[in-house]
Structure 1
């Protein structure tokens, strides 16, 4: 079975994930810290930006693939995928070690939670409600 819509967003998000990973790698090279963050807050920030991405994106992509496999609405999948991409670009830009509140962090959080919740609901509806 082919999942063309999920493949589009998985590919775009994988590129974002690589950028976040390379930021950690470059920071590790710059600081000489190979394990944890050594109390370097910029390294800790880069690690959390990447970690936050890894903690959330795979679940959403799995749900997207399930919904697509079960005949989910392509327009809805594209809207949710686009929201997730925008959110995952905004989230690291708003995640700073020296300030808790930032508008882009809120955009990233809401834009990640919303597709997750909608996809959970649609996936359950496809199986239980139909």
Structure 2
């Protein structure tokens, strides 16, 4: 598997995750009959934040993974960043979906997501200046 293949894999997996989270928002909207906003519905608000949080982090992380692949980073680096991102986003979605408070999934998911972005960014900067 090449770096570009790995990039394609994590782009596809995270794309499916975003669609699943968007579907969850739609499901809550239909149940509560709220077409726009959240109407003070706590479950809908949480579903929107789970989706919104993924939308805030996934695109920049995928740009980083794509840049790693295009700069011929070792495939293991691309996989490492991709796995951290994907597992992190799944854990975060699960944790925040289950509770608006602090949960292990939410904490570990955020941590893994941040590590993926920092590690990928650091590798890109190191590659650019060396």
Query: Could you state the TM-score of these two structures normalised by the residue count of structure 1?
Result: 0.93
Q: Per-residue CA shift, 1:82-128, capped at 9, x if unaligned?
A: 12111111101111585421101111100100010011111111111
Which position in structure 1 is the counterpart of 2:44? 43
Structure 1 residues 58 and 5: CA distance shift in structure 2, 3 A:
same
Structure 1 residues 112 and 68: CA distance shift in structure 2, 3 A:
same
Structure 1 residues 98 and 79: CA distance shift in structure 2, 3 A:
closer
Q: Greater shift after overlay, 21-30 or 79-88?
A: 79-88
1:53-64 alignment, distance < 5 Å: 53-64=54-65
Q: Which runs of 5+ in 1 are unaligned?
A: none
Count of residue pairs brought into register by the alignment: 128
C-alpha separation between the residues in 2 aligned to 1:14 and 1:114?
A: 20
Q: Which runs of 5+ in 2 are unaligned?
A: none
Structure 1 residue 3: deviation in Å?
Answer: 2.1
Is 1:118 aligned with 2:91? no
C-alpha separation between the residues in 2 aligned to 1:88 and 1:34?
A: 26
Which position in structure 1 is the counterpart of 2:89? 88
Is 1:109 aligned with 2:110? yes
Q: Is the 8 A contact 1:9 1:81 kept in 2?
A: yes
Q: Is the 8 A contact 2:46 2:100 kept in 1?
A: no
Structure 1 residues 69 and 15: CA distance shift in structure 2, 3 A:
same
Q: Per-residue CA shift, 1:55-94, capped at 9, x if unaligned?
A: 0000000011111101111011112211211111110111
Query: Could you state the TM-score of these two structures normalised by the residue count of structure 2?
Result: 0.93
